Chains A and B, each alone.
Chain A
């Protein structure tokens, strides 16, 4: 079974700020990491291969040349091959254009199943996974918390919804996006790290995947960012000064009772 895993290199979002003067993102000194949700997708891909005892895992990312390191991290934890979709034509893509780009790469790779994290922690849209499957005219299953069974042509999965889990039989090829609950990603082994360092990573540009330049990157993106700004802060209130924890608790409970909701 050929398993493709779509990943994204993201800034460690806890560290991103806006420069109030230039109103641009300050990304200097901010660490780049593999999108945490994608780490679960990589792990699941490797586990499927191990469970079936055959197959290969290809990781794919669209990004700048530096995204190479994210692909190597995936190889270090068990992926077999990697493709970097890289080129100026891809730049500035929104979710529509990104999902088309990845879909074209999938058409070329022809995997049996595509895995991805449910969303990336920088954009938080959760739109690229379903977008890929629609561009390919494939079925999808989102928020997958367990793959009960997978073989060529079909997967049985559990999908996390707000009030429970839906059990789905999905015809393959399909795109499955996964949530944190699905597994616990392994750490890279020494051998894996060595393999990652030596790995040859394929680099494909827009021509390699036969993309229409009008439909990818900034040009192919229906949405555009109008403005970015720092979020308005809610003002802090009153600090309760109390001689003891007991006094503080008394004051808090009195405040809660005032609200008349308890």
Chain B
């Protein structure tokens, strides 16, 4: 995988919000790569900056109050953070698409689903209304909506939540994107529908050979779909690596703690405390206050930078204990839970 060029490179991305209380550093120096055709999962608690990271990539974030203040997002040789409105508009929907969390609100209630899919087709391709309509029916059919030809003239309120999310996915596919950014696309759905939507995304990924960045706080989903995982906490990347590394030998105490939140033979072990205030991040490691392994140096200076864990260039961790002079062996890295997720070699 490292042999090919990355499709997307996020480098030291910094996104802030200007609020009445002060500046919120929602994304604070985040870096990761996405290779063609792979699935990268961004995991973390609510408020850790996952969504803002995703929405900074195509700059669909509301700006102002949001602002990208630093870093680069390289896609196809273009830095999207500095690209012109026109350039980025050409990429949106055509090369990079989004699927959002809330299928309830993602569709405009006053237009038929057909009109909204057609709009996505015609925004990127110079096709007539009729051809676009044909294409929209094909897309609806592809995302598994029965009797697509009849349903195309229905309004969003005539669809269930799961069906609406399928429509949103159809919209995202309209431009035949290379990269799909899915922001908790199944969080608002019930479990059976969630499984269907995930299956659909995986099937589409295979058929269309597109990369997916999947934002979630559900580690079960991560185990099922991810090739690689980026763990975020308090606007920073804590750890990233191959899904097997993350699940079987988590390096960062935060990742370890997250995995312990999953139900296991000893029940669940919640992480005590809450996320630090994003208006005023503490000195040192962002997780130190909640970390069971924290030592004095963890509370001073900057948040530790990402460095290889176990000397593996593909498995990065931002924890002082992995630096020279410290003993990372104090961290218990063996999985405690009986693995309820088949993280097989071929998922």
A, B assembled together:
no
Chain B positions within 8 Å of A, measured between CB atoms, are: none
Interface residues of A (CB under 8 A from B): none
